[in-house]
Amino acid sequence: MSEYEPLTPASLPKRLGGLSAVADAVGGAPEAWSVEEVGDGNLNLVFIVGGSAGSVIVKQALPYVRLVGDSWPLGLQRAFFEYNALIRQETVDPGVVPAVLHFDEAQALIVMEHLVPHIILRNQMMAGDRVAGLGEGMGRFCARTAFRCSDLHMATDKKKADVALFSGNAELCDITETLVFTDPYFDAELNRHTTPQLDSLVAELRANEALKIEAQHLKRAFTARAETLCHGDLHSGSIMVTGDSVRIIDPEFAFYGPMGFDIGMLVGNFLMAFHATPAHVADRAARAAYQDWLLDVTRTTWTSFAAEFRTLWERERTGILYPRTLYEDQGHEAASKRACDQVLAEIFTDLLGFAGVEMHRRILGLAHIAEFDSIEDSDIRAPLEAKSLRLGRDLVLQRRNITDIDRLLGLARSSETGDNI
Amino acid sequence: MSEYEPLTPASLPKRLGGLSAVADAVGGAPEAWSVEEVGDGNLNLVFIVGGSAGSVIVKQALPYVRLVGDSWPLGLQRAFFEYNALIRQETVDPGVVPAVLHFDEAQALIVMEHLVPHIILRNQMMAGDRVAGLGEGMGRFCARTAFRCSDLHMATDKKKADVALFSGNAELCDITETLVFTDPYFDAELNRHTTPQLDSLVAELRANEALKIEAQHLKRAFTARAETLCHGDLHSGSIMVTGDSVRIIDPEFAFYGPMGFDIGMLVGNFLMAFHATPAHVADRAARAAYQDWLLDVTRTTWTSFAAEFRTLWERERTGILYPRTLYEDQGHEAASKRACDQVLAEIFTDLLGFAGVEMHRRILGLAHIAEFDSIEDSDIRAPLEAKSLRLGRDLVLQRRNITDIDRLLGLARSSETGDNI
């Protein structure tokens, strides 16, 4: 079968049973496979397929946005971009993303490793459970993809070819461009927010002209700064964890963008989890300790990123930017380190901006997060959301003046005091 | 014939005589055509073909860098990128580039309008002759291409498709990345400079770590900031003029890059012409007047750019960036104007940086300019080149503090006083 057709639990064993890469991993007769559709995301069909040897994930794109329905058509090519991102991420940070067992472009489907017993990081955080090595792993992944997919490391013709390839992922970029950077800042049709409690704060944010300008400056960076291969959607729902394992999934939004984009979106998610914790962890001491842990993860995510980036700068700076011929080979090691510091400072500034808009769009836009949405009492939810909205605003507006991670954590701590909307 | 073969004056009439678009423009029997090879650039064959009806230019890429010889191979695809840039430039600023009569991708050749009686701007400036409307025309061209080929104006899927297309022009980008941004800042093999007079200044510049860092930051902007379709090589040798006409040629270096790149390279060329004028205009009063004119052209290039950019911002902001839905439609006209001012300020900062590196590479790198190279007495040439080297350094290092065109012109005037190397 080459014409696209969505899989069903009933059709899947027959359609995929003949693929040895899949059959070997699952094991047993295809007609005996268990197939469960578990897609809880916004865009795709996701099946867990189990057999005598083990289980695999089958992910198939749907020709529309699942969250909204078939009134919002969406091209199937995103599976092609997800596949291309997965194989590159595997190369630059081996073992972090699921192993790809099979890719079928026409069917827009990827068969991949089933991560067991991993759960979504967002659920782990709502349960108040920790993940050893979370910040280290995420910072390292972000640094490795940022560095190794850029002109700091790649041969520039290959980097330009990848820029060209991922430029085709325009439809998914359009979703981010619209839903993250624009819709939250005016009364757009798809928006929703906790009402009436947040109405006046939302009105205040949408009347803040400096904020609206900065959000569009950040959008311009998103659309034009083809620095590196970004995951494109690196929030707490794209990370699978156990108590001591961190894996990253779902790079279908992959694009060439700013080095600070992925880590910025991620930090925005950590900060929202920080604000939401009081609704999920009842015990006062446990709550404070968990919030401390979330800030520690935020800190470690950045320090791990910076440390890994510096190491790669020293060891793998084989691209056309800041070449050793110009620095180390001339005895100018200090200049090389200073250049690295300046690039990291710029990434940190961008991180803050992208974190801020992510915090806004998850509370004001179409796609919300479970940490807040699962709080049924809107009088409890709204004040917590308000903290994220205000901190997000400060990060966007003050990002050029927040020059280190301690200052960011200080702002997060200050934002946590007080219960006013 | 489909396999690539370089044209010769003898073979050209036979090979192109059967193309009606060419035959009609030239007129008469092909065997009666006059064919003259006039390529004085660094990369291509260029023929003027004349007949009873008129004349055309035939430009054919060679599979190597003409300036260096066949030891430096270079792909023929650059004719494809030149053609694609020409037709886009014609769309966004009609009548400025030569009309394309015929394009043959396999032969890497473009037949185009012969600009008569235009001469290269560089020669016009060395003769001390003016061009009415030069700054206005160039500023307008740069603004129209910058704005209309960006996400400020284009549909974003089309813009991303053009980013992908021009990402293929990696070989010519590599020339700029190497020769403009890197080689001048260390003792690279292809470099040359006026020696021994400039040796100590050159050593000083190459020991300036801040300068070398900033040059690479600018290179990073060149490689990663896919903001708009740049001409890519907009120096005074890519502009054809009469006393009152301005036309732009040779966009084979076209790429998606920073909005300030083309206008910055151009301003660098105006400032070098300003420094070189004493060697070309003997009469003291005429020399001062011509230098005033060159600074006036520099000013007008920027003010015309800014004015046109603001007009397009008001009238043609149909892309995804800074959408009217977010500003004007919310009664936030002032925010829209402020955003435009901030984007222009960023472009001006970039302009200064790119002007500075252009001034360096034309004196320290492989490809020099006739304004300086034609000065036979190196004791006259060196002090003038030194002025450009120092001003270039100041523009690169101080660009974030030089916030308006008057300050730039003031620095240019100061750089002109004193004769020290």
Tokens of A336: 């090389």
Cβ pair A204, A141 in contact under 8 A: no
Cβ pair B112, B99 in contact under 8 A: yes
Tell me whether strands B69-73 and B64-65 are parallel, antiparallel or unpaired: antiparallel
Q: What is the mean pLDDT of chain A?
A: 96
Residue of A nearest to B203 (CA): A330
- Contact (CB<8Å) B220/A151: yes
Tell me whether strands A239-241 and A119-120 are parallel, antiparallel or unpaired: antiparallel
Name residue B98's amino acid. P
Which among A152, A160, A347 is the top mutation candidate for probing chain B, defined by the most B β-carbons within 10 Å of its own β-carbon? A160
Residue of B nearest to A211 (CA): B335
Query: Does the reported pTM lie above 0.95?
Result: yes
Q: Which residues of A touch B159 (CB under 8 A)?
A: 223
> What mean pLDDT is predicted for residues B284-296?
98
B177 touches A: beta carbon within 8 Å: yes
* pLDDT at res. B373: 97
> What mean pLDDT is predicted for residues B132-157?
98
B185 touches A: beta carbon within 8 Å: yes
* pLDDT at res. A421: 67
* pLDDT at res. A31: 96
Domain A12-113 annotated CATH 3.30.200.20: yes
Every domain of chain B and the residues it spans? 12-113, 119-416
Query: Per-residue confidence at B420, pLDDT binned at 50, 70, 90?
Result: low
Please give, rounded to a whole number of angstroms, the shortest distance from the CA of B173 to a CA of chain A.
Answer: 9
Query: d(Cα A11, Cα A17) in Å, to the nearest integer?
Result: 10
Of A167, A226, A321, the CB nearest to B161: A167
Tokens of B4: 């690539």
Side-chain-facing half-sphere of B167: CA atoms under 13 Å: 25
Of B156, B170, B338, the CB nearest to A223: B156
Helix (H, G, I), strand (E, B) or coil at B157: helix
Q: What are phi and psi of B262, to 5 degrees?
A: -60, -50
Of A216, A322, A327, the CB nearest to B321: A216
Which among B209, B329, B364 is the top mutation candidate for probing chain A, defined by the most A β-carbons within 10 Å of its own β-carbon? B209
Q: Which residues of B touch A335 (CB under 8 A)?
A: 209-210, 212-213
- Contact (CB<8Å) B321/A185: no
Cβ pair A408, A298 in contact under 8 A: yes
Asked if pLDDT for residue A66 goes beyond 90, the answer is: no
The distance in angstroms from the start CA to the end CA of chain B is 56
Cβ pair A102, A23 in contact under 8 A: no
- Contact (CB<8Å) B217/A334: no
Pick the CATH number of B119-416 from 3.90.1200.10, 3.40.190.10, 3.40.50.2300, 2.30.29.30: 3.90.1200.10
Asked if pLDDT for residue B1 goes beyond 60, the answer is: no
Residues with Cβ within 8 Å of B158's Cβ and at least 6 positions away in sequence, in order, are none
Asked if pLDDT for residue A402 goes beyond 70, the answer is: yes
Cβ pair B181, A188 in contact under 8 A: no
Residue A125 CA from chain centroid, whole number: 16
Q: Using one digit for the tens of pLDDT, what is the confidence trace for B96-123?
A: 999 999 999 999 999 999 999 999 999 9
The B residues from 63 to 122 touching A (CB cutoff 8 Å) are none
Q: Using one digit for the tens of pLDDT, what is the confidence trace for B363-411?
A: 999 999 999 999 999 999 999 999 999 999 999 999 999 999 999 999 9
Residues with Cβ within 8 Å of B29's Cβ and at least 6 positions away in sequence, in order, are none
A155 touches B: beta carbon within 8 Å: no
Residue A413 CA from chain centroid, whole number: 23
Of A150, A223, A334, the CB nearest to B321: A223
Tokens of A304: 């791990």
Of B171, B212, B320, the CB nearest to A177: B320
* pLDDT at res. A73: 87
ipTM of the prediction:
0.96
